[in-house]
Structure 1
Amino acid sequence: MAADAREVAMDAKMMVATDHGDCQRLRELVTKEEATTMVVVMSRKEAPAKKPTPASMDPLLAEAACRGDWEEINFLLDREDLQEGHSTRPADATDVEQGISSAVPLLKGVTVEGDTALHLVAANGEDSNFVRCAGDTPLHCAARAGKPQMVSHLIVLATGDNIIEDLVRRENNSKETILHVAVRNGAHQLVMDLLATDPKLVCFPQEDTSPLYLAILLKHNTIAQTLYEKSENNVLSYSGPKGQNALHAAVMRGPDITRKLLEWNKNKDLTTETDRDANGSTPLHFAAGLPWAGNRGSPCIQVFDATTSVLYLLDNDGLSPIHVAAAAKEASANLFFNSSHCQGRTFLHVAVEKKNLRVVRYACRDRSLAWILNMQDNQGNTALHLAVKDESLDIFRLLFGNRQVNLNLTNEDGQTPLDIARYNVRPSFYDVTADPEVWVQRALELAGATRGASRQDHFYAKYEDRHGVKRNYKEKELEMLKDSTQSQSIGPVLIATVTFGAMFALPGGYRADTSKNGGTPTLAGSFAFHAFMIANTLAFICSTIATLASMYAGSARLNVVRRKDHFGHSIGFMHNSIMALAVAFAVGVYTVLSPVARKTAIAICVMSPLVVLYNFKDFCLNWALFARPLFVRKGAIWTLSLYTSIVLVNMVSVSWLILVLAWAAYGRDHPVSKAVSPAQAPAMFA
């Protein structure tokens, strides 16, 4: 028996039926009486049939529908009925099994856009022929095509069938009724006709975009007024997309429509509703960021006056409308900012972080806001702490120039603004004349600001950790030194080249070799010529030294300390070479032009120092801008003495100009041609 079983198992076969032929074969095998054959029939669930694609519309029917040709449409439909009545074509077996008829009625066909013949009739005309062709054509299509008579005809047909409300309230794929289409097209008369038919139509849909929201968004204020007045008991939907309401749109469209909407909404619930897409913002969040939001009668003030408590509502980021107004650079602060602060951060904190100069200036000038200037957030930072951290000189000067701002308050880390300023200054490679962090520290020190109560060794340990002094700052320093020397050496090289060439191409040229003192400069002996020679020589010397210093600063053979020292020298000599070159240019031009065009020569001499002024632009500008804040902090006498000393020190630093003028005067009084004759020269050197 075991052997027989094995034999049967070996003879067993498997067959899977996948189509009609396989089913017939399996049926034949089952009917056979073969004891040694096992037939296994496996079935599988067939994939769902694809939804049949709608047939294309007959072109003749499409043309007739667009022309509103009722006779042509009747002819085509009658011909179709005649063909169906006399059709003798046998039904295909496959069609019968699938339950699909091969004959597609004309009215089943659609255009590429999916429109039926009825849509085409409604969209292309509204005279008697089109009305006769339409029957119960879709309202949306007729309204979108701007055919009010067709819409009225369809409504009359629906009224006769008692389906008027169902028809006009029906929504399309965009969840819009025919009223939305009329509002979007600005069809005021059609809006009035629809509301006369169904005054409750303005309440649909109850969610998403309402007709009122759409009218306000599109600035159809007259239609918006009609929607409110013609609605039943003035009840209508204020909803908008993504959780917004009509007030969100109104504040963006101006004060007039905002005022009307607040009057219509008696319970004022629109002011406190938040949307979903803008982080839970109320209408006041939207209005607070608009230009001139704080002006009297603006949408911002209107919403605030309607519900003052909305000022304290926070969005999903924890920001109130005050913070939005302070963060928006176009917004204008006003009295409604006087309210209070949220979560420890006042609007002034946000304005400083967002660098809104207008709001900070307003807070510093308004005496009623003096209490907010020294408010501390949850980390103990005042607005001045944040201004110092951000290194914004304009905002820092506004706060620094207000005597009511305390310079010595400490935050949770025990840091005063001066401590933060010291943290910001890099260990090396900073410009003492231009870097904001340097000027912030300098101003605080001049005003007498104090440091926090902490050990200095701890301070320097944190300072080194912040700048990575013990980790990778040396590599950063070398990289900065390499980049700086490459660009730093270009200027001195150019100046050295120019001054070297000018020394052998003197203004005025040379005397002829046949004349007395042949080969000597023709303008020798004049004051301007000698000044040119000395200034040009100093420019050449300083630029050459600056070039050498840049070369040493970029040399890998020297250690970092010596390289930084050379780099500092190159900057100093480069500045001096620029000033000397400007002087040489001015006096050289004056030497040539003054005999024939004295006024022009003077004008050129006056304009030439602009190069020097630009070279020290940041230094001069910052001292000028800090003059008023220092005057407020320290008084007139102290400020005047400080600036006098600065001017005197800088004059001493350019005292070499005095040497240029002195030697020029000496050379003019003792010209070589007069002091020494050719015959006397050998005796002088003997």
Structure 2
Amino acid sequence: MAEDAEATKIILKKKGNLTKERDEDGHTPLHYAAHKCCSSVVEELLKWDASAAYVCDRKLGMTPLLMAARQAHLQKSQKIHSFCPDCCVKVDNRGWNLLHFLAFRVYPPCIAIYFFTLSRKMECASIRNLMDWKDALGITPHQVYDAYRPRIARARKSFENSGQKEKKKQIEELLKDIAREEVAECPVSPFSLPTVSAESLEKTRDAHLVVAGLIATITFAAAITIPGGLQTEKGSERGTPLLIDEAAFEAFVVTNAMAFILSVSALSIHFEIVNLLLSKLIFWRPDMIVSRTQSVSNLLGRAVIAMVIAFSTGSYVVLKPSHGLAIASCLIGPAFFLLFYY
């Protein structure tokens, strides 16, 4: 980073007017620095010519501050704002200000940090009005935030029940357009789009809970009622499974235990999500909920496979005296997965 800043100094000393030069899209070096370079380069460019922070590009009307906010580069945003406090009121062709862009990023609560920093410094009085600023479609940063981050259930329902479903669709379309934007073939930093509804997540969660509960119950019962029975004669081996020396029995025990642990782990993750929801946290990351739901799906998928293997090996070891029936019972489970995959 220090090398980049030093190189920028040398270039600016030789060609000071570089900060005002624009490419065919109207981008200045500060635009590029805000989009992809380190904050030290941004600082050097601003020291040489702070007026570059007010330049808008030709295509979207983006200022360097808006580009930094679109990338969720909070440090760069604060750096640009510290040099040019008034540039925070500039908007792009959509009418979006920097808080519109910060509102949909999946990083830690950028808006809260930004507001907290600015409110303490009191460098720009108009920053307090940005949250209520309406774009060309009448969308505020707060509405972008509510549409993108389902916080607690009450806030999500209030947004959907307030006649804003159409506006939410407009926000999703705008975010899809932003995800496709790029600067000199360098795309916008990826972010997850709010394509998963709260209702579908709730239904998925209920289904997961039922499946995980059934697998845990079945595997627990299978561990208690050992296939083949136990030694009943008095002695040191009393209670030992009769088929303990069989390889198929060992495979049954291991896979049955794996299915039980995986299903219990899935239940634990869902309970953790519920605890977080009940904690009434102000800021929520929808990608975290979706990723944990996907983790539960993966765990349950592996638990089902382990349970089928446990069923096959348990059936085989019990029916081993009838060799053909044992093989047929053992192959039913894998054959089902093979046909399903095909």
Shorter-chain TM-score tier: 0.3 to 0.5
Q: TM-score, normalised by structure 1?
A: 0.25
- Bigger relative contact order, structure 1 or 2 (CA pairs below 8 A, ≥6 apart): 2
- Larger helix percent: 2
| Higher CA-based Rg | 1
Q: TM-score, normalised by structure 2?
A: 0.44
